């Protein structure tokens, strides 16, 4: 299906798909097994221009659309969800936030690096602030021409590979969300270190780590946006990022469905391919319908974002639906493989494990339902 893609979008989709199939796919199982992203792949992401898709050309980026960033995430996730989320966080969260909220000096300093060779990480979650994102304990204290950060962050994607971290901390706990401020933190800053790496069920090659701030000194010039307005940066960026997670989920689901369809055509039972049995045909047909509905929702939300039209409701719906669909489609794929699907010899068990995270990070499914309900009811 073309989904009304422009010529440039079709060409870009084909390029990323070819790259994913030839360069990422052969390494996927090994990266999952070792829980380690291949450094050579990350280098290739930069060389192909996949790490600064929306970044303006004057800063070394591709000056393309948000939709094309989502295309890249989808096509990469079709082969490997871990690689998909690395590219997703770089584009839909970190670079997106920098494009929108950074001042000119910050853009000139950091956007070229993010487009060329610096991986970025988005640092909001803490042990006591998951869904309650603004119950932050990480504290920033102004001292002269710098801020001193103390505290921890948890479950930070890309943490091991990142050189730049967008960190949300509070300058006044008594002020609630109005005390939250965003900071640009470089990996080399004194008092900052990457801590424990989580051993996860899925997207295992994606690094998810604790961050530790012990009197970490951040120049005042590295405040992103306005002091005390970090909550606005966080909310608006995450709204966009959820569309990217939707793209990851439809990519994972498509990879699982592709594997199931291929297997059904070759697996013989009762003297004929299992694809000839109507019961299985209907299961795969239903999975394809679910996946197409999720894809259209993700694409619609991305198009709205590019058109600078409201997309809060559509982004929440797209993330909620696509993550549910991904789990369902991947489960059907395992059923198609039977006992083989439950082993690591075949790819569908990995797709299933990778799909689960979609209902958790960047806003759980319950939080998406809350957003949808509040928007519909004007609460």
Catalytic machinery residues: 362
> Can you tell me the distance from the alpha carbon of 168 to that of 134, in angstroms, rounded to the nearest whole number?
9
Q: Are 114 and 95 in contact (CB under 8 A)?
A: yes
Q: Extract long-range pairs of 297-304: CB within 8 Å, 24+ residues apart.
A: 297/246, 297/321, 297/322, 298/70, 298/74, 298/243, 298/246, 298/247, 298/249, 298/250, 298/322, 299/3, 299/67, 299/70, 301/243, 301/246, 302/66, 302/67, 302/70, 302/243, 302/247, 303/67
- Check residue 102 and give left, alpha or beta (phi > 0: left; psi -120 to 50: alpha): beta
> Can you tell me the distance from the alpha carbon of 105 to that of 112, in angstroms, rounded to the nearest whole number?
12
User: What contacts 338, CB < 8 A, 6 or more positions away?
Assistant: none
SS3 66: helix
Query: Backbone phi, then psi, for 279, in 5-degree steps?
Result: -55, -45
> Can you tell me the distance from the alpha carbon of 338 to that of 216, in angstroms, rounded to the nearest whole number?
52
> Can you tell me the distance from the alpha carbon of 77 to that of 83, in angstroms, rounded to the nearest whole number?
7
3-state helix, strand, coil in the chain (%, to 5): 60, 15, 25
**Could you give the C-alpha distances from 190 to 185, 187, 218, 227, 358, in angstroms and in order?**
10, 9, 9, 22, 34
Q: What is the 3-state secondary structure (H, E, C) of 277-293?
A: CHHHHHHHHHHHHHHHH
Helices (H) and strands (E) in the chain, counts: 12, 10
Of 113, 105, 100, 131, nearest in space to 46 by CA: 113
> Can you tell me the distance from the alpha carbon of 125 to that of 168, in angstroms, rounded to the nearest whole number?
9
């Amino acid at each position: 299906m073309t989904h009304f893609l422009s010529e440039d979008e079709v060409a870009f989709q084909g390029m990323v798909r070819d790259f994913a199939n030839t360069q990422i796919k052969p390494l996927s199982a090994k990266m999952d097994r070792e829980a380690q992203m291949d450094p050579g792949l990350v280098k290739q992401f930069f060389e192909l221009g996949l790490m600064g898709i929306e970044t303006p050309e004057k800063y070394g980026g591709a000056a393309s659309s948000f939709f094309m960033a989502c295309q890249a995430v989808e096509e990469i996730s079709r082969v490997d969800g871990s690689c998909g989320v690395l590219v997703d966080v770089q584009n839909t969260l970190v670079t997106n936030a920098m494009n929108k909220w950074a001042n000119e000096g910050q853009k000139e300093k950091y956007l070229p690096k993010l487009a060329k060779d610096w991986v970025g990480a988005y640092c909001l979650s803490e042990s006591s602030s998951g869904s309650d994102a603004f119950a932050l304990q990480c504290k920033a204290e102004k001292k002269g021409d710098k801020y001193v950060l103390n505290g921890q962050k948890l479950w930070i994607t890309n943490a091991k590979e990142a050189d730049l971290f967008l960190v949300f901390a509070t300058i006044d706990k008594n002020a609630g969300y109005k005390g939250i401020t965003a900071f640009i933190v470089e990996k080399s800053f004194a008092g900052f270190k990457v801590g424990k790496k989580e051993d996860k069920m899925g997207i295992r090659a994606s690094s998810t780590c604790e961050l530790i701030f012990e009197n970490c000194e951040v120049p005042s010039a590295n405040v992103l946006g306005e002091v005390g307005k970090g909550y606005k940066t966080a909310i608006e960026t995450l709204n966009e990022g959820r569309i990217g997670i939707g793209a990851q989920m439809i990519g994972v689901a498509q990879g699982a469905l592709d594997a199931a369809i291929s297997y059904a055509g070759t697996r013989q039972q009762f003297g004929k391919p299992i694809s000839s049995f109507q019961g299985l045909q209907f299961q795969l047909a239903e999975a394809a319908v679910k996946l197409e509905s999720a894809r259209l929702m993700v694409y619609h939300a991305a198009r709205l974002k590019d058109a600078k039209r409201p997309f809060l409701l559509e982004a929440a719906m797209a993330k909620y639906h696509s993550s549910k669909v991904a789990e369902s489609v991947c489960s059907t794929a395992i059923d198609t493989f039977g006992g083989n699907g439950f082993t690591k010899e075949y790819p569908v068990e990995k797709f299933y494990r990778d799909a689960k995270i979609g209902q958790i990070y960047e806003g759980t499914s319950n939080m998406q339902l809350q957003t949808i309900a509040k928007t519909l009811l004007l609460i």
